[in-house]
């Protein structure tokens, strides 16, 4: 009993996986027992990982557009390995340089829609002298919270020519750059219209300028440094609402200070564009190339970047497949790229230039598809007719076999024999292989009468043919042919 208790106490706590070393040697078993009895963890010299590389799905990663700095670790969990090396790749044809920290973090500065895509990071290290690698795959999508500003500006001018209007807009954008830096926003001129003034239509014109304000300029999120997704999204919303009011006040102040813009030229010394009105409209729409897809659970009304094969025009707030004849290669496209002349895509949502094919092929495929119902209408009746004929011929063959095996068939055979007997009166030559050369008509007649009497139950005692036989003979020989009965034949003899 004591020995048994000792064996139980010295038993190894964790048995090795016999799938790795197929056979444990004596030294290996002794080593396990000694380590277990000593209280130290048991390990074999050959306890190496059976698999030296792993593939992991890191999941979805959402990064706000124009983020000042976003750091994505190689592994979603902290790994305690010695001297690891990191390698980041992206599934795009064009090579791209990555900014990777010493710890293997991938850095994104001023994240753009085109930076979205599928990324993979491989961490390599040594374990027990064997190289091991683990690869983590990520799908990165750009997004942004809702919030924007549209401004309408009205200027009076003496001219309404494109050349002078362009010079005026260049000067206006140059003076607005300093305001962009101060307010961490982006200002973009989207449209310009020129029409005569109502007060003085002949000498005065009104220049209408539409200005789009994006609140996601450089360093717009400098106060949002949290790594928690929910906290940072709330910080983005608060920042956007605060910046909306600040940018509106800054623009109003700017156009009060800059009431007139002077444009000079070779022919005309100076032209003034005088500001008369400034109006603002807050917008809650997606930027171009983004749409509301509710992929981000922390922000269901946020705008997610459109993937390749889809697009979203500005102010649309919805990603749609590229129409037939167009394609989009990268993430965040506001418009799709049309195929070359003479080429078209087969289906909507093309994401590669290789999806464009010649129109002739597409037309041929479409024509074949349209001809399929017509071909079915032509072939189907023929198939039905062939099946009907096959069934009819099968029934006919079955009927013939049934008639041959029935008693009526034997009666028909006897009638045929009688017909041959009667036709012998017309002196149709028929030689019996058993008859000799001296055999005469009498012997032939007696032979045939005997065979006829044995084969038929309906003959008369005197051997006269039945009416059915006479009728059959009349049918065969015709009405004009004289038919000899058995009595007439006796008279001739």
Q: What is the mean pLDDT of residues 345-368?
A: 76
**pLDDT digit string, tens, across residues 239-292:** 999 999 999 999 999 999 988 888 887 766 778 899 889 999 998 889 999 999
- The answer on 268 and 342 residing in a single domain is no
| CA 180 – CA 203 distance, rounded (Å) | 35
pLDDT reported for residue 51? 58
- Grade residue 375 by pLDDT with cuts at 50, 70 and 90: low
Least confident of 136-140, 209-213, 227-231, 296-300: 227-231
pLDDT score of 382:
81
Q: Is the dihedral of CA 433, 438, 441, 447 positive or negative?
A: negative
Half-sphere exposure of 234 (CA within 13 A, CB side): 5
pLDDT for the residue 93: 61
CA distance 418 to 454: 11
**Do 279 and 152 share a structural domain?**
yes
Same domain, 180 and 267: yes
Same domain, 249 and 339: no
At 92, the pLDDT band (50, 70, 90 cuts) reads confident
Indicate whether 26 belongs to any domain. no
pLDDT at 58: 80
Asked if the model's pLDDT at residue 99 lies above 50, the reply is yes
- Is residue 127 domain-resident? yes
154 and 266 in a single domain? The answer is yes
Both 165 and 99 in one domain: the answer is: no
State how far the Cα of 452 lies from the Cα of 414, in Å rounded to an integer. 8
What's the pLDDT at 390? 79
Buried b (16+ CB within 10 A) or exposed e, 328-339: bbbbbbbebeeb
Going from the C-alpha of 75 to that of each of 117, 126, 226, the distances in angstroms are 18, 17, 19
Give the separation between CA 319 and CA 289, rounded to whole angstroms.
7
Residue finishing a domain among 352, 371, 390: 371
- Asked if residue 90 and residue 167 are part of one domain, the reply reads no
Q: Distance from first CA to last CA of the chain, Å, rounded?
A: 132
Q: Is the per-residue pLDDT at 486 higher than 90?
A: no
- Domain endpoint, select from 142, 164, 188: 142
Q: Going by C-beta distance under 8 Å and a sequence separation of 6 or more, which residues neighbour residue 213?
A: 148, 149, 150, 151, 185, 186, 187, 247, 251
Residues 195 and 254 placed together within one structural domain of the fold? yes
Q: Does one domain contain both 170 and 240? A: yes
Q: What is the pTM of this model?
A: 0.61
Rounded distance between C-alpha atoms, residue 147 and residue 213, angstroms: 10
Domain extent at residue 174: 148-283
Q: Is residue 279 domain-shared with residue 155, that is, in the same domain? A: yes
Q: Assign 3-class secondary structure to the chain.
A: CHHHHHHHHCCCCCCCCCCCCCCCCHHHHHHHHHHHHHCCCCCCCCCCCCCCEEEEEEEEEEEECCCCCEEECCCCCCCCCCCCEEEEEECCCCCCCCEECCCCCEEECCCCHHHCEEEEEEEEEEECCEEEEEEEEEEEEEEECCCEEEEEEEEEECCCCHHHHHHHHHHHHHHHHHHHHHHCCEEEEEEEEEEECCCCCCCCEEEEEEEEEECCCCCCCCCCCCCCHHHHHHHHHHHHHHHHHHHHHHHHHHHHHCCEEEECCCCCCCEEEEEEEEEEEEECCCCCCEECCCCCCCCCCCEEECCCCEECCCCCCCCEECCCCEECCCCCCCCCEECCCCEEECCCCECCHHHEEEHHHHHHHHHHHHHHHHHHHHHHHHHHHHHHHHHHHHHHHHHHHHHHHCHHHHHHHHHHHHHHHHHHHHCCCCCCCCCCCCCCHHHHHHHHHHHHHHHCCCCCCCCCCCHHHHHHHHHHHCCCCCCCCHHHHHHHC
Bridging pattern class, strands 130-144 and 53-64: parallel
- The pLDDT, as a whole number, for residue 63 is 94
Q: Is the domain of 274 the same as that of 315?
A: no
Q: Is residue 169 part of a domain?
A: yes
**317 part of a folded domain:** yes
Within a domain: residue 387? no
Cα angle for residues 37, 42, 44 (degrees, 5° grid):
130
Phi, psi of 144 (to 5 degrees): -155, 150
For residue 110, is it within any domain? yes
Query: Which of the listed residues 104, 121, 142 is the one where a domain comes to its end?
Result: 142
**290 lies in some domain:** no
Residue 385 has a pLDDT of 84
CA distance 65 to 109: 10
pLDDT of 359 reads 79
Confidence tier at 315 by pLDDT (50, 70, 90): confident
Which residue do the tokens 């910046």 mark?
243
The reported pLDDT for the residue numbered 120 is 94
Mean pLDDT of 377-386: 80
Claim to verify: residue 136 and residue 176 sit in the same structural domain: no
Q: How many CB atoms lie within 10 A of CB 214?
A: 19
Structural domain total, the chain: 3
> Residue 239 has what pLDDT?
93
Residue 464 lies in a domain: no
pLDDT at 347: 92
Q: How confident is the model at residue 417 (pLDDT cuts 50, 70, 90)?
A: low
């Amino acid at each position: 009993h004591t020995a048994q208790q000792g064996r139980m106490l010295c038993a190894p706590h964790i048995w090795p996986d016999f799938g790795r070393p197929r056979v444990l040697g004596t030294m290996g078993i002794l080593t396990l027992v000694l380590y277990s009895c000593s209280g130290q963890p048991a390990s074999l010299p050959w306890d190496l990982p059976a698999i030296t590389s792993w593939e992991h799905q890191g999941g979805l990663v959402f990064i706000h557009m124009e983020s000042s700095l976003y750091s994505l670790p190689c592994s979603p969990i902290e790994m305690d390995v010695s001297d690891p090396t990191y390698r980041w790749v992206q599934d795009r044809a064009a090579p791209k340089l990555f900014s990777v920290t010493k710890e293997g973090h991938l850095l994104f500065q001023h994240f753009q829609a085109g930076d979205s895509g599928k990324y993979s990071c491989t961490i390599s290290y040594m374990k027990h002298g064997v190289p091991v690698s683990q690869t983590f795959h990520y799908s990165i999508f750009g997004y942004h919270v809702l919030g924007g500003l549209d401004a309408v500006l009205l200027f009076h001018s003496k001219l309404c020519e494109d050349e002078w209007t362009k010079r005026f807009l260049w000067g206006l954008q140059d003076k607005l750059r300093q305001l962009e830096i101060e307010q961490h926003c982006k200002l973009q001129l989207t449209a310009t219209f020129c029409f005569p003034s109502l007060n003085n239509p002949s000498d005065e014109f009104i220049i209408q300028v539409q200005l789009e304000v994006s609140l996601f300029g450089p360093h717009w999120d400098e106060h949002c440094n949290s790594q928690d997704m929910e906290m940072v999204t709330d910080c983005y919303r608060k920042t956007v609402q605060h910046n909306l009011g600040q940018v509106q006040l800054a623009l109003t102040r700017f156009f009060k200070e800059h009431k007139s813009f002077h444009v000079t030229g070779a022919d005309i010394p100076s032209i003034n564009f005088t500001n008369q009105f400034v109006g603002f409209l807050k917008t809650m729409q997606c930027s171009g190339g983004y749409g509301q897809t509710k992929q981000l659970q922390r922000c269901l009304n946020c705008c997610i970047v459109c993937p390749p094969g889809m697009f979203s025009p500005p102010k649309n707030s919805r990603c749609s497949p590229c129409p037939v004849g167009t394609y989009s290669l990268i993430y965040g496209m506001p418009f799709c790229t049309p195929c070359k002349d003479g080429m078209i895509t087969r289906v909507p949502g093309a994401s590669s230039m290789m999806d464009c094919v010649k129109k002739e092929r597409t037309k041929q495929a479409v024509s074949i598809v349209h001809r399929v119902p017509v071909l079915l209408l032509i072939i189907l009746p023929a198939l039905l007719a062939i099946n009907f004929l096959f069934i009819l011929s099968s029934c006919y063959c079955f009927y013939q076999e049934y008639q041959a095996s029935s008693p009526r068939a034997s009666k028909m055979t006897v009638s045929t024999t009688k017909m041959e007997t009667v036709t012998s009166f017309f002196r149709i030559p028929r030689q019996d292989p058993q008859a000799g050369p001296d055999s005469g008509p009498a012997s032939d007649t007696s032979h045939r009468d005997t065979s006829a009497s044995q084969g038929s139950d309906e003959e008369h005692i005197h051997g006269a043919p039945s009416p059915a036989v006479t009728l059959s003979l009349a049918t065969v020989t015709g009405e004009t042919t004289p038919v000899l009965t058995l009595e007439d034949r006796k008279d001739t003899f």
